[in-house]
Amino acid sequence: MATQKYKAWSVVIASTIAFTVCFMIWMMFAVIGIPIKKTLGLNETQFGILIAMPVLTGSLIRVPLGMWTDKFGGRIVFTILMLSTVIPIFMISRATEFWEFLVTGLFVGVAGGSFTVGIAYCARWFPKTQQGFAMGIFGAGNTGAAVTKLVAPIIVVGYGWAMVPQIYAVLMLITAILFWMFSFTEPSHVVGKGVTIREQLAAFKDPKVWKYSQYYSIVFGGYVALALWMTKYYVSEYGFDLKTAALLAAAFSIPGGVLRAVGGYFSDKYGAHSITWWVLWISLICLFFLSYPQTEFTIQTVTGPSTFHVGLGPTTFTIIMFTLGIVFAIGKASVFKYISDDYPHNIGVISGVVGLAGGLGGFLMPIMFGALVDLTGIRSSAFMLMFGVVWVSLMWMYWTEVRPLDAAREKHRAKNRGADIIE
């Protein structure tokens, strides 16, 4: 008979592989959307809607999936979720009209809800001191975005974009079968059918949940949005071909997934608050430089006019994006460490609510990216928008966490000084 430790790690490994495949499929339009855009003659806003459509469903379904995971267990919910997407994935290859891509994209987007199921399923197999690390390992499945950027362009160039969803449909079916074979059920992890929907939805009234949702809307929502947008950005801004653009875009996606386990380890060791605070500050600095558009200006000098060019070249841009991917990976883990610390018995629902906010960020931002480009003609306006979102998160954290912590420390120091005087 398998030991509890063996079951726990088997669940984490099986769930991580399954989530990686789900994320590959969720991010599929980041690559196949480019030839589809060309074929259908879409503008930037329409392209943003196309690539974001799967993210919408994957976001909205996270709350009910979290509730079902708490009530019925992660193994059965995860398996059914994967099987339900196989036919819609294949049907993308048969779509010819814009609305057909949008509709099939909605059904395929269910795969994105796998995160909420897996995070609660994995966390319950480990003690509190290891939950951040376990959730970080599972969250490394975000690397599926990078895998799609590496694999899908090869398929597109060799066999056409329609072959990608066909191969992915078969891959999803095989993954669902293997997941069921190598995962386990633990009855004590299931909250039970006696928990009402009203009790579970009480999470929406908790202000801390909304704050964590705001944090996650940038570290995960921003990650998803940029993972979808970057291949197109490299093509438009720097003139790379599809394969090169996707490869460079993977420099952001790979650390954004792989290093999530590192974020979980740091969060276990130093606390969710400290890690998230530094994540937001470094993100703000990166986005400040990324926001600056390609600029040419002329200065009248004593020898005549001199023209200068200021802007990020592809190398510098990629280095900064790589850095941003690292901090987003760490931030995704630290936000969920907050959840496991504050809501140990309600992880599924809370992670569903927070994941909903993050997913909606990933859905809305690509559309806003496209709209901003159409309105302003400035491609770096996408990073300007994200800079504003990070600034809001930092201010919220400062007033609700940093200030109260500083006040508590000062009160403690004053109390100790008073005790010293009495002595």
User: Looking at the domain assignment, is residue 190 inside a domain?
Assistant: no
Q: What pLDDT score does 304 carry?
A: 82
User: Looking at the domain assignment, is residue 101 inside a domain?
Assistant: yes
Q: What is the mean pLDDT of residues 60-85?
A: 87
Residue 200 pLDDT class (50, 70, 90 cuts): low
Q: What pLDDT score does 79 carry?
A: 95
Strands 295-301 and 304-310, by their bridges, are antiparallel
85: CB partners within 8 A, 6+ apart: 25, 107, 108, 110, 111, 172
Q: What is the mean pLDDT of residues 153-160?
A: 91
Q: What is the mean pLDDT of residues 235-240?
A: 89
Q: Which residues of 370-385 are buried (b: 16+ CB within 10 A; e: fewer)?
A: bbbbeeeeebbbbbbb
Q: What is the mean pLDDT of residues 404-411?
A: 73
**Between the CA atoms of 152, 158, 164 and 166, what dihedral angle is there, to the nearest 10 degrees?**
-150
Residue 421 pLDDT class (50, 70, 90 cuts): low
User: Looking at the domain assignment, is residue 249 inside a domain?
Assistant: yes
Q: What pLDDT score does 298 carry?
A: 85
The CATH number assigned to the domain holding 210 equals 1.20.1250.20
User: Looking at the domain assignment, is residue 303 inside a domain?
Assistant: no
Q: What is the mean pLDDT of residues 209-225?
A: 88
Residue 390 pLDDT class (50, 70, 90 cuts): very high
Report the range of poorest mean pLDDT among 141-145, 281-285, 361-365.
141-145
pLDDT digits (tens, 9 = 90+) for 95-136: 999 999 999 999 999 998 888 888 888 888 888 777 777 877
User: Looking at the domain assignment, is residue 195 inside a domain?
Assistant: no
Of 156 and 351, the one with more pLDDT: 156
- Cα separation, 406 vs 42, in Å, equals 52
User: In this structure, are residues 281 and 312 in contact, taking their beta carbons and an 8 Å threshold?
Assistant: no
Of 423 and 231, the one with more pLDDT: 231
Report the range of poorest mean pLDDT among 13-17, 107-111, 125-129, 327-331.
125-129
Of 209 and 278, the one with more pLDDT: 278
- Checking if the pLDDT of 418 tops 70, the result is no
User: Looking at the domain assignment, is residue 189 inside a domain?
Assistant: no
Q: How many domains would you assign to the chain? A: 1
- Cα separation, 272 vs 226, in Å, equals 24
Q: What is the mean pLDDT of residues 320-326?
A: 93
Q: What pLDDT score does 359 carry?
A: 81
Q: What is the mean pLDDT of residues 298-325?
A: 88
Q: What pLDDT score does 201 carry?
A: 64
User: In this structure, are residues 393 and 218 in contact, taking their beta carbons and an 8 Å threshold?
Assistant: yes
pTM of the model: 0.76
- Cα separation, 113 vs 117, in Å, equals 7
| Full residue range of the structural domain in which residue 98 is found | 4-183+206-297+308-422
Residue 220 pLDDT class (50, 70, 90 cuts): confident
Of 68 and 105, the one with more pLDDT: 105
User: Looking at the domain assignment, is residue 220 inside a domain?
Assistant: yes
Q: What is the mean pLDDT of residues 215-227?
A: 88
State which of 3-7, 250-254, 263-267, 384-388 shows the largest mean pLDDT. Answer: 384-388
Closest CA to 358 of 230, 229, 224, 252: 224
Q: What pLDDT score does 348 carry?
A: 67
Residue 196 pLDDT class (50, 70, 90 cuts): low
